[in-house]
Amino acid sequence: MRCTIDINQNGKREGFIQLNHSNDRHAYGVIPIPIAVIANGLEPTVLLTAGNHGDEYEGVIILKRLYEAIASEQINGRLIILPALNFPAVREFKRVSPLDNNNMNRIFGSTDSPGPTREIARFVENELISQARYAIDLHSGGTMCEFHPCSYIYSGGDQQFVQEKISAAHCFGAKYTVVVVGTSGSLSAACERQGVVMLSAELGGGAIRKKNIELGYHGTLNALAGWSVLDSEPAKTSTEFLLSGASSSFIMSPIGGAFEPLVEIGQTVMAEERVGRVYPLETFSEPIIQIQCEKKGIVIGQRNQSLVQRGDFLLHTGEPVSEAGILEQSTS
Ligand SMILES: [Zn+2]
């Protein structure tokens, strides 16, 4: 893969990462993944990404706006911006790559699943994350899910590292920040492997909303200010932390059918509360299945399309946790 711009020079420039890809269109095609740099020195470097999943356009818009708005003179350090990370998916409104069916956010660090998606992830991990001190990856629920707008941090690392992630989440300023153990194949995990202070965000989903774009835009700017990368005083913002990720936090459909939600995102639900129903499609005689949550929590994200197959995601919850509680889980 080749980057068409010099990312080590001061100033503001845009170009492409070119991934060779031979297909029916031509033997010598490339996949042009947009990249931009705003640099005033190299340290610290912040990696800003969106379009990790191709049907999540909030972050694409936010990072384009940021590139328009920020002059190199306004920053200390360097912003590397990839607004359409899985570009083949972004341009075709697909969550995963239409070229190899791989989920970009499950393939970082992978040594199998060859294909364009892994090649992009490998370039990002080896050539860009390796130079970063901080990172923000902007997501949303895409076409299938709606999140209460929130940021996400991983719980791993020593106390200082976790504290830096907590501080970044306060600066981002979403009402909630979800704390998870995380998976090894995500961009967040790739950042954690290299000690990069990393925040991701879930900016709604289902429909594009002004308020979610504004949260992501101003949250990203304020995080940059909090890291002293942007030459302005950060606004005093804060977030509440929710612990999630255990299997008891996730509810999947036990049957195929039509899902009826009985709760809204952001709502507090009690243990064994009825949160939805699934209606079998074929007959009247089959029983309607009642969906209960296992434990008390706040609904973070919920499916926003009704048709489900057995095993499909319905909703997930998080339990409020204190900062001390998060730090207790850190490795030292
Ligand atoms: Zn996503």
- 282 CA distance to ligand 1 middle (Å): 33
- 188 CA distance to ligand 1 middle (Å): 12
Q: How confident is the model over 79-130, as pLDDT tens digits?
A: 999 999 999 999 999 999 999 999 999 999 988 778 999 999 999 999 999 9
* Other Cβ atoms within 10 Å of 133 Cβ, number: 18
Strands 257-261 and 274-279: antiparallel
Residue-level pLDDT at 114: 82
- 212 CA distance to ligand 1 middle (Å): 14
pLDDT band at 264 (very low <50, low <70, confident <90, very high): very high
Rounded CA separation 142/95 (Å) = 7
- 200 CA distance to ligand 1 middle (Å): 9
Helix (H, G, I), strand (E, B) or coil at 197: strand
- Domain limits, CATH 2.40.50.100, in the chain: 248-319
For Cα atoms 52, 108, 66, give the angle at the middle one, nearest 5 degrees. Answer: 35
Q: What is the identity of the amino acid at 231?
A: D
Structure tokens given for 243: 């612990």
Query: Is 24's pLDDT higher than 90?
Result: no
| Mean pLDDT on 212-241 | 97
Rounded CA separation 327/305 (Å) = 37
Rounded CA separation 152/136 (Å) = 10
- Domain limits, CATH 3.40.630.10, in the chain: 2-243
Residue-level pLDDT at 227: 98
- 63 CA distance to ligand 1 middle (Å): 15
Per CATH, the homologous superfamily of domain 2-243 is Zn peptidases (3.40.630.10)
Q: How confident is the model over 275-306, as pLDDT tens digits?
A: 999 999 999 999 999 999 999 999 999 999 99
Structure tokens given for 189: 């995990």
| Cis peptide leading into residue 261 (ω within 30°) | no
Q: Ligand 1 is a single-atom ion; what residues have CB below 5 A from it?
A: 53, 56, 139
Q: How confident is the model over 92-106, as pLDDT tens digits?
A: 999 999 999 999 999
* Other Cβ atoms within 10 Å of 283 Cβ, number: 6
pLDDT, averaged across the chain: 95
| Mean pLDDT on 258-266 | 98
Rounded CA separation 160/65 (Å) = 32
**CATH number assigned to the domain with residue range 248-319, chosen from the 4 options 2.40.50.100, 3.10.20.30, 3.30.70.1450, 2.170.190.11:** 2.40.50.100
